[in-house]
Structure 1
Amino acid sequence: MLYFQLHKENSIPLYEQLYIGIKNAISKQQLAVGARLPSKRELADFFSISQTTVELAYAQLLAEGFIMSKPRVGYFVEEIDELPFIVPVNAEINSMAEEKPTYAIDFSSAQIDENSFPFTIWRKYAKDVLDTPFKHLLQTGERQGELALRSEIANYLHQSRGIKCTPEQIVIGSGTEQLLPMILKLFDDHAKLALENPGYSPIHRDQLKQRAIPVPIDTDGLIIEELQKTAANLVYVTPSHQFPTGAVLSANRRTQLLKWAAQAPNRYIIEDDYDSEFRYTGKPIPALQGLDQNERVIYLSTFTKSLMPSLRVAFFVLPPALLKRYQTDFTYYSATVPRFEQHILARFMKDGHFSKHLNRMRKIYRKKHDKLIEIFSSQFPEVHISGDAAGTHLLISVPHHQNEQQLHDIALKQGIHIAPLSNYTLTANPYRERVFLLGFGNIPLTLLESYIQQLMACWGIHKKK
């Protein structure tokens, strides 16, 4: 007989208690495979319950395959295969590796000013979109992204960056890390991609392997003479604000680069318009795409810095010839950004809030930028500053006898995170100086001076008296 009890005062129904008891007995092999179970009448009498209760429990066990029924004979225990249990190797290490590190002071160049985000306005649009009139957004949307958002992006690009495009030329995706591989798939596997060195690539250099060709830069940006020596037919550039050095591609080199693209068929420039919204000296730098007369520029941008990194909305603008190729080769692709988020952003832009937010952030970042320049020039004049014309980071060259990695480790022991420039080189570090990216996006203006003093102190660089 079965060795468990049913508790009639329990909130769990009696049939469920009976089902659980028999299932556990089978799982623990207290009931042998092939053993005959008591009849419904026998079990009802034993537990003083109705036969209906027993019938419900047996029906559930039958449905789950724990028992089998032989007509006019009875119920019998089925053989249940045991699931193998494998102890995960390095489970603790893997769990720890996923944790995002935290720092007392973080000079990351990827962060934005959290306290200045227009939460109230964004919440209003999110609430509006998550309402019944927008129930159609539950269905699959347009493959290249929502037309409403693509239209707003096209208008913004025309007004702010001088870019000539229609909404039909725009493809929306969740980050440049996803979009650049898509662009590369428009070309054959033998296509060579030139990359700025040092520079940023959304695809890890190990994945690019033989396709990547590093091309050096200087204070005027990518050195076109060096590009011309390569076998590249694609080049990935950040001309308006080179990452990470902050160099601006000079007018002469812009012309040279566009000529390079026009000199051979299937040559294209991938223009990543990184940090173009935040410029502190002179007029905004026009986008290459707007200057291009031969439709050889693929324009790429994101809302990471202008709004928030977590939004994960990026886009590219294809020239007409490549658009036809894209529409043929990417029939399987569906926009990876949720439709609700696309419409929230579209309405935010349409009503002018995006432009207002950008104007406000320019003022906030300019104050931080100017404060940093003043701190270094007055207190630490031996530290050389560069790349400070735009963006939310600048480069600092530190006079020191220790190398970049040693200085990085010294700061890290003090809870300070700051990235060395060598992190972004595709070849051996060509820089003899100790150069670091000092991001100020999410550092409060009132704490900038204290944080810089702590960083300099840990490196043994003393404040000017």
Structure 2
Amino acid sequence: MLFFQLQKEHTIPLYEQLYIGIKNTIINNQLVVGARLPSKRELAEFFSISQTTVELAYAQLMAEGYIISRPRIGYFVEEIDALPFRENVAAKIDFQQTSQQIEYEIDFSSAKIDEDAFPFTVWRKYAKDVLDTPFKHLLQTGERQGELALRIEIANYLHQSRGIKCNPEQIVIGSGTEQLLPMILKLLGNDVLLAFENPGYSPIPRHQLSQLAIPIAVDADGIVVEQLQKTNANAVYITPSHQFPTGAVLSANRRTQLLKWAAKSADRFIIEDDYDSEFRYIGKPIPALRGLDQNDRVIYLSTFTKSLMPSLRVAYFVLPPTLIKRYQEHFNYYSSTVPRFEQHILAKFMKDGHFAKHLNRMRKIYRKKHDKCIEIFSNHYPEITVSGDAAGTNILIAFPHEKSEQELQKIARQNSIYILPLSNYFLTEQHYPKRTFLLGFGHLLLHEIEQKIHKLMTIWDIPKNE
């Protein structure tokens, strides 16, 4: 007989418990190949369960190839080699533990937004409108490049705010830059050699990027184009309007150099990630590189992560006209990865002017938080150098310290503070005389910023000027 028990009060159904028990017994060779299993009646009586429960368990075991039924004879253990896979039954995963994220008392993440400022009432109205029977056609598969209604609104927004003239046919919508960048690279061909800002943000996992990309240094004027010109790269991924994580803005001279570099060969392209361009606090808005491009060498990439919410998972790229036909040939099987309902909610939100209103409001909110951070460091911590403060929702703080960045980060975590060092974003190891960290302020409440910065400085033993 089988040496395991069923727990009748457990949330797992009895038939599933029986199936798992028999399967594990077979895998562990406690039942040899060809061994006859008890009949449904015998097993039902042994465990005091119904024969239907046994029948369901046996049916699942047969479907997966663990046992075989011989008419009017019984059920027998199948050949182990014929099994589709073998499990490591000793390994146990605590799903509750692995699914939980660490909650920090103070979170200086640069990726989070101000939750309280989101226009829930307006968004809810459009969501209710779209989730109604007049929109039942949205249950079907939509257009491959994304819903036309949303692509029209994106094209209008880019023309008005970023100086980019494009048609909806040039726009492709996807669920994030992590998904869209690999598509772009595939579109550019197998022989593409990608250059990448160092330090920089990567939609590609860091261990893969170090093998795929050529690192190009970044200074106060953005990516060093002269260094790019000395490589064999035929594509470069940049964040010119607000370089992440340094906050540098690509200078006018280097923009010209970069566009000239791309124009020298038909296979050269610039992938412009217009990161955080909506939130600028010093000077005039920086025009998009795509708007200056006269030779169709720039592929424009952007997202609604910061401007609306990270969980929306809507991003897009704008292809030069020369690449549209190639895209349609390479991705004729592609289906948009963004739900149609969410695309239409966003399209209506933009069409009625709420997106522009929201951006204007968030610029004011983030500017106040930005100015507060600058004020605190200026008044109380003069030895700390602040940079990358022209735009975005984070600043860079740099200071001399006897401890390494990793040690300082560990101290912060031990005190329930989340903050990342600049070194996390380098492709190649770099040595800086000062410890440098990204301090995000988007998620923080304005009246709590000062107290939270003081706490961070205290645990790092950085003296405060009164």
Alignment of 1:38-53 (within 5 A): none
CA separation of 1:142 and 1:61: change in aligned 2, threshold 3 A: closer
Alignment of 1:183-194 (within 5 A): 183-194=184-195
Equivalent-residue separation in structure 1 for 2:401 and 2:38 (angstroms): 80
SS in 2 for 1:215: strand
Q: Structure 2: which amino acid aligns with 1:177? A: E
Equivalent-residue separation in structure 2 for 1:108 and 1:427 (angstroms): 23
CA separation of 1:290 and 1:57: change in aligned 2, threshold 3 A: closer
Offset, 1:211: 2.8
- Once the two structures are superposed, residues 29-69 of structure 1 have per-residue CA deviations (whole angstroms, 9 ceiling, x without a partner) of 9xx7697979xxxxxxxxxxxxxxx9x99999999989999
Q: Which runs of 4+ in 1 moved over 3 A?
A: 26-29, 32-38, 56-70, 75-86, 94-98
Q: Structure 1: which amino acid aligns with 2:263? A: A
Whether contact under 8 Å (1:109, 1:392) holds in the other structure is yes
Alignment of 1:158-197 (within 5 A): 158-197=159-198
- Once the two structures are superposed, residues 291-323 of structure 1 have per-residue CA deviations (whole angstroms, 9 ceiling, x without a partner) of 000010000000000000000000000001111
Partner of residue 198, structure 1: 199
The normalised TM-score by structure 1 is 0.84
- Once the two structures are superposed, residues 221-251 of structure 1 have per-residue CA deviations (whole angstroms, 9 ceiling, x without a partner) of 0111111011100000100000000000000
Give the structure with higher Rg (CA). Answer: 1
The normalised TM-score by structure 2 is 0.84
SS in 2 for 1:115: coil
Equivalent-residue separation in structure 2 for 1:392 and 1:113 (angstroms): 10
- Once the two structures are superposed, residues 369-410 of structure 1 have per-residue CA deviations (whole angstroms, 9 ceiling, x without a partner) of 011111111111111100000000000012212121111111
Whether contact under 8 Å (1:62, 1:68) holds in the other structure is no
Partner of residue 105, structure 1: 106
Equivalent-residue separation in structure 1 for 2:70 and 2:258 (angstroms): 79
SS in 1 for 2:218: strand
Equivalent-residue separation in structure 2 for 1:36 and 1:60 (angstroms): 10
CA separation of 1:37 and 1:367: change in aligned 2, threshold 3 A: closer
Offset, 1:80: 6.8
Partner of residue 447, structure 1: 448
Equivalent-residue separation in structure 2 for 1:37 and 1:438 (angstroms): 67
- Counterpart check, 1:218 vs 2:223: no
Equivalent-residue separation in structure 1 for 2:364 and 2:138 (angstroms): 36
Identity %: 66
Equivalent-residue separation in structure 2 for 1:61 and 1:417 (angstroms): 48
CA separation of 1:80 and 1:261: change in aligned 2, threshold 3 A: same
Partner of residue 242, structure 2: 241
Equivalent-residue separation in structure 2 for 1:252 and 1:433 (angstroms): 29
Partner of residue 357, structure 2: 356
Partner of residue 124, structure 2: 123
Whether contact under 8 Å (1:191, 1:211) holds in the other structure is no
Equivalent-residue separation in structure 1 for 2:157 and 2:343 (angstroms): 15
Offset, 1:99: 2.8
SS in 1 for 2:379: helix
Task: Return 5+ residue gaps in structure 2 as ranges.
Answer: 1-13, 26-30, 43-50
SS in 2 for 1:301: strand
CA separation of 1:68 and 1:225: change in aligned 2, threshold 3 A: closer
Partner of residue 253, structure 2: 252
- Counterpart check, 1:375 vs 2:370: no
Partner of residue 426, structure 1: 427
- Once the two structures are superposed, residues 402-442 of structure 1 have per-residue CA deviations (whole angstroms, 9 ceiling, x without a partner) of 12111111111111111000000111123221010000011
Offset, 1:140: 0.3
Q: Structure 1: which amino acid aligns with 2:350? A: M
Task: Return 5+ residue gaps in structure 1 as ranges.
Answer: 1-16, 39-53
Partner of residue 281, structure 1: 282
Whether contact under 8 Å (2:40, 2:55) holds in the other structure is no
Q: Structure 1: which amino acid aligns with 2:345? A: I
Equivalent-residue separation in structure 2 for 1:445 and 1:219 (angstroms): 29
Partner of residue 4, structure 2: none
Equivalent-residue separation in structure 1 for 2:312 and 2:208 (angstroms): 25
